[in-house]
């Protein structure tokens, strides 16, 4: 196995371990066992559990942005693209549940430095979403560099996160109905704040 492939396997195992057991309860030995290598090999790639966690967190955040980016900036009217984005977020959470938990659910880790890093990655991710939405925000009369733009994205991401978790707890909820409900709230709020400019 090539070094990049082995590193990717270790990171994937780390995501599973941290999402399942939490940062505090997960050790390098657990990651090694999940990835089928020795602890020494894990340390060859990452000098500490903290370094491994941060690498996994940043890589999963980048993967999430890449996953939803095409829906945000794709073809179609703003409402169509928002629906596609909502659907894509639900899909990401279903296909990559451990990455989802690491990015959006497990916000506290029993380590102040890790908690601060998690918050920083979340903030950077929201800034990236603002950039992806820049044209739509401008059309809505919202300056992409403004506090209002940041707050708008913060509320959109927060609402979607809660919607995904709500459906996860209530497993019988139809996916389409959940997306419709999310759209009713998110789109009406965003279009209303734009005075109908998003059309």
Q: Dump pLDDT digits (tens) for 162-172.
A: 888 888 887 77
Residue 46 confidence class, pLDDT cut points 50, 70, 90: very high
Record the tokens describing residue 141, joined without a space: 């009369």
Split at pLDDT 50, 70, 90, the class of 193 is low
Q: What is the DSSP string of 40-102?
A: HHHHHH-SSHHHHHHHHHHHHHHHHHHHHHHHHHSSS-HHHHHHHHHHHHHHHHHH-HHHHII
The arithmetic mean of pLDDT across residues 13-36, rounded, is 93
For the domain made up of 56-193, give the CATH fold: Tetracycline Repressor; domain 2 (1.10.357)
pLDDT digits (tens, 9 = 90+) for 60-91: 999 999 999 999 998 888 889 989 999 999 99
pLDDT tops 80 at residue 10? yes
Lowest mean pLDDT among 18-22, 56-60, 119-123: 18-22
Residue in this structure with the two tokens 């009713």, named with its chain if needed: 184
The DSSP 8-state label assigned to residue 8 in this structure reads H
| Confidence at 197, pLDDT banded by 50, 70, 90 | very low
pLDDT of the residue at 108: 73
CB-based contact 151:87 (threshold 8 Å): no
Residue 19 tokens, joined? 């999402």
128 CB-near residues (< 8 Å, 6+ apart): 65
Sequence length of the chain is 199
Q: The whole model's pTM is what?
A: 0.87
pLDDT at residue 189, as a whole number: 63
């Amino acid at each position: 196995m090539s070094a990049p492939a082995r590193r990717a396997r270790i990171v994937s195992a780390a995501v599973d371990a941290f999402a399942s057991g939490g940062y505090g309860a997960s050790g390098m030995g657990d990651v090694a066992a999940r990835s089928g290598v020795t602890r020494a090999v894990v340390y060859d790639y990452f000098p500490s559990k903290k370094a491994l966690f941060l690498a996994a967190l940043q890589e999963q955040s980048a993967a999430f942005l890449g996953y939803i980016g095409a829906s945000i900036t794709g073809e179609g009217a703003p409402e169509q693209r928002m629906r596609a984005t909502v659907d894509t977020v639900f899909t990401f959470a279903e296909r990559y549940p451990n990455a989802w938990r690491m990015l959006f659910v497990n916000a506290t880790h029993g380590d102040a430095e890790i908690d601060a890093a998690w918050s920083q990655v979340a903030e950077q991710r929201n800034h990236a979403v603002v950039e992806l939405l820049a044209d739509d925000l401008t059309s809505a009369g919202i300056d992409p560099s403004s506090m209002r733009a940041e707050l708008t994205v913060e509320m959109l991401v927060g609402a979607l996160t809660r919607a995904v978790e709500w459906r996860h707890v209530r497993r019988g909820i139809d996916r389409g109905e959940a997306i419709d409900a999310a759209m009713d709230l998110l789109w009406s709020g965003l279009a209303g704040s734009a005075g109908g400019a998003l059309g």
